[in-house]
Structure 1
Amino acid sequence: MEELQLGIAKYREVIHNSNFFNEVKETVLVENGYTKIRCLALGSPSESSDARYQYAFLLELMDFLNITQISLYDPVFTKLDKQVFASYVVEESFEPKNDDKVLHYIPHAPLSVMEQILKNEKPTAFLGNDIIAHTDRLTKRKLADLYPSMAILVHYSKTDPVEDGFVKVLPKSRNNQNTQTNQNTQTNQNTQTNQNKRSSRNGRKSFKEPEIEYDLNSVYFDGVEIKRFKHNYVKGDVWGNSFSDIAFHNIHTKK
């Protein structure tokens, strides 16, 4: 256990001095008034390097927010893990729900687990997989059928699926604008001609997502804001994929 604790302490130092954690501190503000952290889907720190980094992050987050009340659960926790967590509460069920003083930390939960967390624990804010990046492999219909609460959260999202949350706009000279306009016009004409040829050749229409009728009354929220980070995953970082898709989600609960 002592060796594990020493390893976690070294990981904490890496997290503490990282650009990523500086970004997190600017996003998850002390002024938000969180008094408790609920940590789910952490993995086993005694058996996984990723989980050790994620646990080290949790400890740094606790210190930054000056929080001592921690509730953790993952069915994969080992006896050694629970010894490491001796100062905190390991519990499957959790109260209270829909509490804006509780920050959920959910490092890498699969969609099925996230669906249950939304239904059972009703988080108002969580650090976890970016809900857009995490669901973009599914069509809207399949997402709604398999994970209805997650589908509604994605539906309410007002952000675009970009890597860093920013869009670059570069100034152009008038000549460049005219040239670009002509190029775009020609490109659009060629594209449309090719599309028409393909359409007439195979008689098929391009795929269009069906309109989904969401059961908005089935969820406790009516909006979400997502803050993405630039430095959570940089090639060559020592923590690898530990924080590859993490983002901060602020969920607007119904009044």
Structure 2
Amino acid sequence: MESFKRYAVGSERVKQIRCLALGSPSQDAPALYQLAFLRQVADHLQTTEVSLHDPAFNDTDIAFITGLGYSVSEEDPYKEVPHTFYFLPHAPLGLTETILSEYKPEMFMANDIKIHGERKTKVEMYEKYPTIALAANSVAKACPKVEAGVPVKSTPVDDGFETVKKKPRKRTNKNLYVEPKIEYDYTQCFFKTCSMTRYSEIEGPWGNSFSDLALHIFE
């Protein structure tokens, strides 16, 4: 939570929160931890205007969430309201693209946008999820050498033994795929830059509940 307070620039303007793709807090421990985090964010922002939706919610989830003073609604009550904070802890690419392209949030917390679509080529991402691709490109240009979630390799201890390494075989690269250069066009995009901060408080009893989450700010 401290990392959110530190990097959530402009959060004082936020008066409402919309949470999607949380999962079932009564059935899934990470979803329960993420709901607890959402409660902390709402308290920090001093707002009780919080709306959630997930088809996975059961009657127990809905009773618990409404008991916190929040609403459960498939329709977004804040779609036309500026300065809404979006929290999408398990959102698939399609939902993330919809939120970015249609709702144009100034700030949202979701899967690290730089690695969210890494299973697809950059061309595929730009063709199918253009707003995500533009945001990911903006983040990549800001920190091209930083790969979130990749651990730093430690230096091995010298034990007096020498490792014999096999010489790599020369391989032909006739079939090597070279991705074409993409001309990213921001003229119709609602933002010019996207800054991202990975959630750093990932070690604790909550396990991997926050391992891929990142705060994104659009300007």
What range is the shorter-chain TM-score in?
Answer: 0.7 to 0.9
**Displacement after TM superposition at 1:131 (Å):** 0.4
1:220 is matched with which residue: 177, 185, 190? 190
Answer yes or no: is the 8 Å Cα contact 2:199–2:210 preserved in 1.
Answer: no
Change (3 A) 1:98 1:136: farther
Other-structure match for 1:248: 215
Change (3 A) 1:203 1:40: closer
RMSD: 2.7
**Displacement after TM superposition at 1:53 (Å):** 0.5
**Displacement after TM superposition at 1:114 (Å):** 0.8
Change (3 A) 1:164 1:28: farther
**Displacement after TM superposition at 1:216 (Å):** 3.5
Answer yes or no: is the 8 Å Cα contact 1:98–1:122 preserved in 2.
Answer: no
For structure 1, list consecutive stretches of 5 or more residues without a partner in the other structure.
1-20, 168-193
Q: TM-score, normalization: structure 1?
A: 0.68
**Displacement after TM superposition at 1:220 (Å):** 2.0
Partner SS state of residue 61, structure 2:
helix
Q: TM-score, normalization: structure 2?
A: 0.78
The residue identity in structure 1 corresponding to 2:181 is E
Answer yes or no: is the 8 Å Cα contact 1:225–1:251 preserved in 2.
Answer: yes
Other-structure match for 2:24: 44
The residue identity in structure 2 corresponding to 1:41 is A
Moved more, 63-72 or 142-151: 142-151
Change (3 A) 1:22 1:208: same
Inter-partner Cα distance in structure 1 for 2:15 and 2:81? 14
Inter-partner Cα distance in structure 1 for 2:81 and 2:192? 13
Give deviations 1:121-164, integer Å, cap 9, x for gaps. 22110111110121223211121233222112212222334337
Change (3 A) 1:30 1:221: closer
Matches within 5 A, 1:178-217: 198=171, 202=172, 204=174, 206-214=176-184, 216-217=186-187
Change (3 A) 1:66 1:116: same
Give deviations 1:88-113, integer Å, cap 9, x for gaps. 222223233472x2111111211122
**Displacement after TM superposition at 1:206 (Å):** 4.7
2:205 is matched with which residue: 223, 233, 238? 238
Other-structure match for 2:90: 108
**Displacement after TM superposition at 1:218 (Å):** 4.6
Other-structure match for 2:148: 163
2:60 is matched with which residue: 80, 86, 90? 80
2:79 is matched with which residue: 96, 99, 102? 96
The residue identity in structure 2 corresponding to 1:240 is G
Inter-partner Cα distance in structure 2 for 1:103 and 1:212? 30
Partner SS state of residue 134, structure 1:
coil
Answer yes or no: is the 8 Å Cα contact 1:117–1:123 preserved in 2.
Answer: yes
Inter-partner Cα distance in structure 2 for 1:48 and 1:82? 14
**Displacement after TM superposition at 1:230 (Å):** 3.0
Change (3 A) 1:85 1:163: same
The residue identity in structure 2 corresponding to 1:228 is R
Inter-partner Cα distance in structure 1 for 2:173 and 2:60? 62
* Structure with greater helix share of residues: 1
The answer to whether the aligner puts 1:150 opposite 2:135 as a matched pair is no
Inter-partner Cα distance in structure 1 for 2:22 and 2:9? 22
Instruction: Give the number of the structure whose alpha-carbon radius of gyration is greater.
Output: 1
The residue identity in structure 2 corresponding to 1:117 is I
Taking only the aligned residue pairs, the percentage that are identical comes to 36
Other-structure match for 1:124: 106
